[in-house]
Amino acid sequence: MNFTFSAATGVAFFMICLFGILAVGYLLGRITIKGISLGSAGVFIVALLFGAFLYDPMGAAVANASDALKVIENLGLMFFVTAVGFIAGPNFVANFKKNFKSYVLLGAIIIFAGALGCIGCIYLERLISNVPAEDYASLTATMVGVLAGSLTSTPAFSASKGAVAAELESAVSAGYAIAYLFGVVGVVLFVQLIPKLTKADIVAERSKIVAIDTGKKAAGEKKLIDMDDFGLMPLALAIVIGIVVGSLKFGNFSLTTTGGCLLAGLIFGHFGHVGPINLMPKSTTLKALRELGLVFFLAGAGIKGGASFVEYFKPIYFVYGIIITIVPMVIGFLFAKYVLKLPLFNNLGSLTGGMTSTPALGTLINVAGTEDVANAYAATYPVALIAVVLASQLIIMFFS
């Protein structure tokens, strides 16, 4: 019996790969050692392994496999951040007003520490490897990629590629792919370890963050009109607006799809309705799409990262990635705890935003047992987004 891949069987094969990765990833994520598990990040690990060892067969079977993965990754990212925006929206404004200085300062401190770590690693590599001056630009391009991967920041990755010469774009991509693995897993494990190491009372800490967030203003007794049973229409509209807003450029800077969809979700969630029209999807819809979006994003990013991971991997760059992930994360946590004196879950929520770590937010929501940590993430994320893009471009400008 002859079997050949047609367009239809190619799509079927792609779907088998995608959902097979999700199934195995969730099984891996359920493995718990002393109360610590990978959770949804298990999907990323499986996707990375798949990309490293099985991407070529998939690419041979599926036309434009890279484009298909980008669609899955972007679709997942839009679902996740828009749902997070809707969930955080009702409490966001009051929480941001109350903690504005803390969120801005913490986001800036985290990215500043990451940038200093990157610069330190550049000088260390020049010294260790005796890098000649003519190779400084290549090294800096790779290390800026490592910075973007360590902070799992797609906007910084894109901005860095745009800021270097065309022949150095592959160096940025290599650094990003090498550092991205620990960038995801490191923060996911950190937000689980800290409550255990500090022997935190989860219930008490949860009540502190809820006490800070003041809740949404009542819309009165007005009967609101739902556009559909699940609230998919306002969610789809928010995504459309988010894509448009994220595409606007101010010089070399843009919010990107991530920032645009997050902003649109926050605004829709904050107002809740326009006249009699309900803008809030059902909470069950938001939770389902938040989780589905997260694992789609992790699967798409993991397969693509795995495909280039083996080709470009160098142990020393992986070590640099670990340093650039851990240093700002620890400094940010200690600064928030002892200087800003934020409650634990405000601290960790802000930390996930400052590290621009989408997977870690999903994990933290499960650890804390409340959606309210998304408020701190949403408040710190825009500050970190802008800061890491600017930091990447400045490092390229002054250290190449």
Q: List beta partners, residue 376.
A: none
175, two tokens:
């650094």
| Nearest-angstrom CA–CA distance, 239 and 63 | 27
131, two tokens:
């890098």
Has residue 191 been placed in a domain?
Answer: yes
129: left (phi over 0), alpha (psi -120 to 50) or beta: alpha
What domain range is 348 assigned to?
81-281+306-399
Sign of the Cα torsion 165, 171, 177, 179 reads negative
Rg of the chain on CA atoms, in Å:
21
Number of structural domains in the chain: 1
pLDDT value, residue 329: 93
Give the residue among 323, 364, 370, 359 at the shortest CA–CA distance from 347: 364
| Nearest-angstrom CA–CA distance, 117 and 170 | 22
| Nearest-angstrom CA–CA distance, 280 and 392 | 37
| Nearest-angstrom CA–CA distance, 275 and 282 | 18
The distance of Cα 79 from the centroid of its chain, to the nearest Å, equals 13
Has residue 51 been placed in a domain?
Answer: no
| Nearest-angstrom CA–CA distance, 353 and 335 | 15
Q: Is 225 helix (H, G, I), strand (E, B) or coil?
A: strand
Q: Is 167 exposed, middle or buried (0-12, 13-18, 19+ CB in 10 A)?
A: exposed
pLDDT value, residue 155: 64
Give the residue among 182, 116, 113 at the shortest CA–CA distance from 333: 113
pLDDT value, residue 13: 83
Has residue 341 been placed in a domain?
Answer: yes
| Nearest-angstrom CA–CA distance, 346 and 284 | 24
Has residue 121 been placed in a domain?
Answer: yes
The angle formed by the CA atoms of residues 387, 69 and 163, to the nearest 5 degrees, is 35
Q: Is 275 exposed, middle or buried (0-12, 13-18, 19+ CB in 10 A)?
A: exposed
| Nearest-angstrom CA–CA distance, 359 and 77 | 10
Contacting residues for 146 by C-beta, under 8 A, at least 6 apart: 118, 121, 175, 176, 178, 179, 317, 320, 321, 324
Per residue of the chain (400 residues), what is the pLDDT tens digit?
Answer: 454 555 557 778 888 889 999 999 999 888 877 666 777 778 888 988 888 888 776 766 666 777 888 888 889 888 988 888 888 777 777 767 777 788 888 989 999 999 999 999 999 999 998 888 888 888 898 899 899 889 887 667 766 776 777 777 777 777 887 888 888 888 888 998 999 888 888 888 888 876 554 644 444 456 888 888 898 999 999 999 999 988 887 776 677 777 788 889 989 988 888 889 998 999 899 989 988 988 898 888 778 777 766 766 788 989 999 999 999 999 999 999 999 888 899 899 999 988 888 778 888 888 888 888 888 887 888 788 778 878 888 888 888 7
pLDDT value, residue 291: 86
| Nearest-angstrom CA–CA distance, 84 and 87 | 5
| Nearest-angstrom CA–CA distance, 128 and 119 | 14
Has residue 114 been placed in a domain?
Answer: yes
DSSP state of 62: S
Q: Give DSSP secondary structure letters for 287-316.
A: HHHHHHHHHHHHHHHHHHHHHHHHHH--HH
Locate tokens 């500043």: which residue? 112
Classify strands 273-274 and 253-254 as parallel, antiparallel or unpaired: unpaired
pLDDT value, residue 6: 57
Has residue 5 been placed in a domain?
Answer: no
Q: Give DSSP secondary structure letters for 347-375.
A: HHHHHHHHTT-HHHHHHHHHHHTSTTHHH
| Nearest-angstrom CA–CA distance, 286 and 80 | 9
Has residue 364 been placed in a domain?
Answer: yes
Has residue 48 been placed in a domain?
Answer: no
Q: Identity (one letter) of the amino acid at 8? A: A
